[in-house]
Amino acid sequence: MQDLVRMWSNTRMVVLSAVSAAVYAAVLIPFKAIPVIPGLTEIRPAAALPPLCSILFGPAGAWGSAFGNLIGDFFGMLGPGSIFGFLGNFLYGYIPYRAWRALSDQEPQPLSVTGWAKLLLAFLLGAGACALVIAWGVDLLGLAPFKALVNIILINNALMALLISPFLVAILYPMIKNFGLLATDLLEPAPRSRLSRVGLVLLIIGILGGLLAGNLLAFGALNPAGLGLPALSLPWLVSPFLLILLLGVVLA
């Protein structure tokens, strides 16, 4: 994860982060007028952009997604929940890059059927992490229940990431590569760790486990007291999965 810090010493990476943030915010803002949950989330075609920026620009895409979402929040949804919106969108713009590197040594263009499956998995992991972190944080703050937010964000992000992001990657990746502006062109990537596959497995466990446990708890299908566990609130019961997720990000 040192690339998240090293990129700030590279002028072009900083510029790419700013451009990513500006484009993301520009697409987000018009849809603030169509909220799904007022003050918290809205219809988001812009959700196709963080996975794209992640694959193209790596850490610059992650910072751009986080700051772009924060800028968008200034136009109708800024509040305590914006902290978790920042963190969730940061992961949405970073996990696909890390997961792809753990899954494949290839460039994401052109791809075989297996290659596309790996890329879509990387996108889905980012979408799931974003939904989990935001819904967990908003529930923790008492702004909205977990179940009211997590599946809306997950479905919206997943649809955009699966239906639009792959086509954007297919179109834009060769162009960005020709300009020498890929993250791998501007920052020498660290050698892939032997633990990267372990990190990928932890990512999957943390995201799927958190989403499943959170939904089961939120909808009353899982009763901790019936299992002999203390009656903790949902955020505390989902927290271990978030820690597994974060460890996965570090190792992937």
Which structure tokens are listed for 41?
């989330």
pLDDT at res. 32: 60
What whole-number distance in Å separates Cα of residue 135 and Cα of residue 156? 14
CB atoms within 10 A of CB 48: 21
Which architecture, in CATH terms, is 3-190?
Orthogonal Bundle (1.10)
Q: Which residues contact 246 (CB under 8 A, 6 or more apart)?
A: 206
As a whole number, mean pLDDT of residues 175-201 equals 89
pLDDT at res. 234: 77
- Asked if the model's pLDDT at residue 82 lies above 90, the reply is yes
- Asked if the model's pLDDT at residue 191 lies above 80, the reply is no
Distances (CA, A) of 69 to 46, 107, 203, 231: 10, 28, 23, 34
pLDDT at res. 131: 96
177 or 231, higher pLDDT: 177
- Categorize the per-residue pLDDT at 225 as very low, low, confident or very high, splitting at 50, 70 and 90: low
- Categorize the per-residue pLDDT at 189 as very low, low, confident or very high, splitting at 50, 70 and 90: confident
pLDDT at res. 145: 86
> Residue 24 in contact with residue 65, Cβ under 8 Å?
yes
pTM: 0.91
What whole-number distance in Å separates Cα of residue 215 and Cα of residue 237? 11
- Categorize the per-residue pLDDT at 70 as very low, low, confident or very high, splitting at 50, 70 and 90: very high
- Categorize the per-residue pLDDT at 154 as very low, low, confident or very high, splitting at 50, 70 and 90: very high
Range with lowest mean pLDDT among 91-95, 128-132, 168-172, 223-227: 223-227
What whole-number distance in Å separates Cα of residue 74 and Cα of residue 30? 12
Question: End-to-end alpha-carbon separation of the chain, Å?
Answer: 9
129 or 46, higher pLDDT: 129
What whole-number distance in Å separates Cα of residue 244 and Cα of residue 206? 5
Domain boundaries, the chain: 3-190
